[in-house]
Each structure stands twice: as C-alpha cells, then as structure tokens.
Amino acid sequence: NAGVTQTPKFQVLKTGQSMTLQCAQDMNHNSMYWYRQDPGMGLRLIYYSASEGTTDKGEVPNGYNVSRLNKREFSLRLESAAPSQTSVYFCASLPGARPGLAGGETQYFGPGTRLLVL
C-alpha cells in the first residue's frame, strides 16, 4: 500500500513550456486534491475532484487544468508555465465515502513535486 504517489519529484521548466504532474492513490479514496505550497502562504487549493468524473476550482486555479483519469489518478497540467508557478505541489486524497471526522478521516498527502520555472 503505497498511499499517495506523485511524479516527478523535481522538475525544471522554462517559461512557456508545458508539463503534467501525475498523482495516484491506491486507497480507493473518492476525493482528490491539488495544492501548491509557497513560503509564507501555507497550502492553497488549486483544483479538487470530489468523485470520479467531477472536478472543481479551488482558490488559485488560473494557469492550471486537471483531469480525473479514473478513481486512482488525478493529474495537474500547466499549459504554459510562468515563473509565478514555481512552487511545491502536493496531491492529496480523502476517503469521502462517509463524511465525518469521527473516524479520523482526513486528507492524505503525497510527498510533493518541486517545480522551478525559469
């Protein structure tokens, strides 16, 4: 049981290049999330998918697109990278089948992808 995995771990892009960040979870979770983490800003939600086949914008969606490929995988695409997108990107998943924190239900995070846009 690998939990939440993300690829790549680290990437350098030039301004204007495109790339896709991959995320997969093997916990049969319904909901998946993409966050970015910048110094002094905490975690900010980019997009999320409450269930397979649905996606919604979060706090900072501009410049990004997502695809919920199946229940396991949720990818984040940068069509034309900008230096402002230099950040650490985290994917997370949540069981979501029976809402409630009583059982300690929480979002489980991957190890992150460090992206540098020059």
Partner 1 sequence: QKEVEQDPGPLSVPEGAIVSLNCTYSNSAFQYFMWYRQYSRKGPELLMYTYSSGNKEDGRFTAQVDKSSKYISLFIRDSQPSDSATYLCAMSRDQGAQKLVFGQGTRLTINP
Min dist. Cβ of residue 16 to partner 1 (A): 28
Residue 53, C-beta contacts closer than 8 angstroms, at least 6 positions apart: 68
In the list 21, 23, 24, 31, the residue contacting partner 1 (rule: CB under 8 A) is 31
8 preceded by a cis bond (ω within 30 of 0)? yes
Min dist. Cβ of residue 74 to partner 1 (A): 15
Give residues 78-117 in contact with partner 1 (rule: CB under 8 A).
90, 92, 94, 96, 99-101, 104-107, 109-112
Decide whether 14 or 104 has the Cβ nearer to partner 1. 104
Site string (32-71) toward partner 1, x via CB under 8 A: --------xxxxxx--x-x---------------------
Q: How far apart are CA 54 and CA 83, in angstroms?
A: 29
* CA 7 from centroid of its chain's CA atoms: 11
Q: How far apart are CA 3 and CA 9, in angstroms?
A: 16
39 preceded by a cis bond (ω within 30 of 0)? no
Decide whether 80 or 106 has the Cβ nearer to partner 1. 106
DSSP state of 58: -
The binding site for partner 1 (CB under 8 A) comprises 4, 31, 40-45, 48, 50, 90, 92, 94, 96, 99-101, 104-107, 109-112
